[in-house]
Chain A
């Protein structure tokens, strides 16, 4: 049913219809509204036989999910930012044990400096944790992809993160066709776990493995992820059959076929990009875009096909590998390494910096004119950076840069005692 609804509420409704049996969560902005919504629904008895656990931390949340999933329960949690960091050891355990937990990541920057706004640093911190990571473009996809996520997770027996931009999606009120429970029931069969903790048939989950077999176990993790490259498009097609709408598979192309310049990105920013790219195409620039939905596993072959004919690729991402540049750009380069394609790394939108049509257009035009330095920091004020570098050089005991820059840009006033 069409509703004007907050993104978090739409996700909570979709997750509830998947009939999770255990939800363990700890609040952190900007994902909190999702688990609050689910908590209310569980309390009202709208989620069937579901136990909602208010745990003491994110580490507790993921650990509880691991136990519940290992005991054969369909299991869900959500987190953001430092919450992801705090649960990280358990995040690796969930995938290593092959437990099909679904987790929403309300994407938010990682501090310090502390910042509650959107970028992808939290999801990226877990990019090598062997979870499937699906990035969504809008709140319709956010709702739909959670339903797909449970089925994908349980088909390949791997945990899935659904990554949605914090605030931009989690807190946005938009029109969403909220799925009907009967449709969800038709699409998502009951959970049949591949492994269950059972005192009558004991197994060791998480056995210690030495040098003689560790590489083979890790190879299998890689192999299982690659299997998901087939499963994800199959589920997407099946989802479309049941729900009557396309909510994306491995990636989505926006006039990329035959375009000389192709922008590659993920998440919600494609919405603002589309109108800029349409204007540039109308003005005669051969430019399109590819939005990657499945970041892990990385859709190498699908991306190569989508970029066939591109001479120049501009990878735009809301995250930074300090000391080298773009993270997604590195993956794209690896996928295209034997092809004669120029790949630019552009880093923008960090910590919620607004990404606008105007600043995107300027950056795309720079790219078209071969004027992007490597890596390119989008919409950054280099005057502020230069003044701070100068200060660090000249002031005895210069103190923290974050505070100094806040003074420079006028957000904090007053003098500092030295």
Chain B
């Protein structure tokens, strides 16, 4: 089972990201579960969502305690939430930031993990460029397909087409592809 925990703030699409990731996994005929952990649902409040992906039916409903992949949509959460809690020893960390691992002051985390497992991607900037709004969620889903083989970029594109239509879908797909390329180059 591959477990994902997504940290962000209200209005960044943390819950939608988890839903789309589960739809992407379903497109690959895998079992997947996305569960939001709603806090007080205000814009800007810390929000967490969980995704599990497996080849067999998933019955667990506990929060994801030991993620294989962490998606951090807002690095300012480092100061208020223990986002790295329980991260698997060979886990991945995808961070929405234009800054480097050293600049983000998380070299210590990166050193505990295999090389290239902590990847910052300037998702907000990519979202502003492609979508005209600072919503990093679909961008980061594109990026994650460059980190692991668990989900393919084409499946994320299918999930985007499932959630959005028309020009909005096309713009999100372009953003996801750009993020995939950026993460691969990182």
The answer to whether A399 has its CB under 8 Å from any CB of chain B is no
Per the bound structure, the CA–CA distance linking A356 and B26 in Å amounts to 25
Taking A172-B33, A272-B61, A275-B59 as contacts, is the C-beta distance between A116 and B38 under 8 angstroms? yes
* Those of B4-28 within 8 Å (CB) of chain A: 15, 18-19, 22-23, 25-26
Shortest beta-carbon contacts, A-B, top 6: A4-B26, A271-B59, A173-B34, A356-B62, A173-B22, A173-B19
Shortest distance from the beta carbon of B62 to any chain A beta carbon, whole Å: 4
Shortest distance from the beta carbon of A357 to any chain B beta carbon, whole Å: 6
Which of B23, B26, B38, B62 is close to A272, meaning CB atoms less than 8 Å apart?
A: B62
The answer to whether B141 has its CB under 8 Å from any CB of chain A is no
Q: Is there contact, CB below 8 Å, between B62 and A355?
A: yes
Q: Is there contact, CB below 8 Å, between B62 and A357?
A: yes
The answer to whether B35 has its CB under 8 Å from any CB of chain A is yes
Residues of B within 8 A of A (CB): 15, 18-19, 22-23, 25-26, 31-38, 57-63, 65
The answer to whether A252 has its CB under 8 Å from any CB of chain B is no
Q: Is there contact, CB below 8 Å, between B35 and A4?
A: no
List residues of chain A with CB within 8 A of the CB of B15.
171
Taking A167-B38, A173-B22 as contacts, is the C-beta distance between A357 and B32 under 8 angstroms? no
Q: Is there contact, CB below 8 Å, between A174 and B33?
A: yes
Q: Is there contact, CB below 8 Å, between B65 and A175?
A: no
14 additional A-B residue pairs with CB within 8 Å, beyond A171-B35, A358-B65: A4-B26, A167-B35, A171-B15, A173-B18, A173-B23, A173-B35, A174-B32, A175-B26, A269-B61, A271-B59, A271-B60, A271-B61, A272-B62, A357-B62
List residues of chain A with CB within 8 A of the CB of B65.
356, 358
Per the bound structure, the CA–CA distance linking A358 and B33 in Å amounts to 20
Which of B23, B35, B57 is close to A172, meaning CB atoms less than 8 Å apart?
A: B35
Per the bound structure, the CA–CA distance linking A163 and B33 in Å amounts to 20
Nearest to B62 among chain A residues (CB) is A356
Nearest to B51 among chain A residues (CB) is A173
Q: Is there contact, CB below 8 Å, between B23 and A175?
A: no
Nearest to B22 among chain A residues (CB) is A173
Which of A117, A174, A358 is close to B58, meaning CB atoms less than 8 Å apart?
A: A174
The answer to whether A99 has its CB under 8 Å from any CB of chain B is no
Shortest distance from the beta carbon of A35 to any chain B beta carbon, whole Å: 18
Shortest distance from the beta carbon of B128 to any chain A beta carbon, whole Å: 28
Nearest to B25 among chain A residues (CB) is A4
22 A-B residue pairs with CB within 8 Å: A4-B25, A116-B38, A117-B38, A138-B59, A168-B61, A171-B15, A171-B35, A171-B36, A173-B18, A173-B22, A173-B32, A173-B33, A173-B34, A173-B35, A175-B57, A268-B61, A272-B62, A274-B59, A354-B62, A355-B61, A356-B62, A356-B65
Nearest to B57 among chain A residues (CB) is A175
List residues of chain A with CB within 8 A of the CB of B32.
4, 173-175
Nearest to A354 among chain B residues (CB) is B63
List residues of chain A with CB within 8 A of the CB of B60.
271-272, 275, 357
* Those of A107-156 within 8 Å (CB) of chain B: 116-117, 138
Taking A4-B22, A4-B26, A6-B19 as contacts, is the C-beta distance between A172 and B63 under 8 angstroms? no
Shortest distance from the beta carbon of B6 to any chain A beta carbon, whole Å: 13
List residues of chain B with CB within 8 A of the CB of A173.
18-19, 22-23, 32-35
Shortest distance from the beta carbon of A106 to any chain B beta carbon, whole Å: 13
Q: Of residues A173, A174, A354, A358, which shows the largest number of chain B Cβ atoms within 10 Å of its Cβ? A: A173
* Those of A162-178 within 8 Å (CB) of chain B: 167-168, 171-175
Nearest to A273 among chain B residues (CB) is B59
Per the bound structure, the CA–CA distance linking A6 and B62 in Å amounts to 17
Shortest distance from the beta carbon of A144 to any chain B beta carbon, whole Å: 15
Per the bound structure, the CA–CA distance linking A116 and B38 in Å amounts to 9
List residues of chain B with CB within 8 A of the CB of A6.
19
List residues of chain A with CB within 8 A of the CB of B34.
172-174
Nearest to A168 among chain B residues (CB) is B61
Shortest distance from the beta carbon of A257 to any chain B beta carbon, whole Å: 20
Per the bound structure, the CA–CA distance linking A138 and B26 in Å amounts to 17
Per the bound structure, the CA–CA distance linking A62 and B25 in Å amounts to 40
Shortest distance from the beta carbon of B102 to any chain A beta carbon, whole Å: 30
Encoded as 1 (CB less than 8 Å from any B CB) or 0, chain A from 262 to 296 comes to: 00000011011011000000000000000000000
Shortest distance from the beta carbon of B124 to any chain A beta carbon, whole Å: 25
Per the bound structure, the CA–CA distance linking A356 and B59 in Å amounts to 12
Nearest to A360 among chain B residues (CB) is B62
Nearest to B20 among chain A residues (CB) is A173
List residues of chain A with CB within 8 A of the CB of B59.
138, 271-272, 274-275
Shortest distance from the beta carbon of A352 to any chain B beta carbon, whole Å: 9
Per the bound structure, the CA–CA distance linking A272 and B62 in Å amounts to 7
Encoded as 1 (CB less than 8 Å from any B CB) or 0, chain A from 284 to 314 comes to: 0000000000000000000000000000000
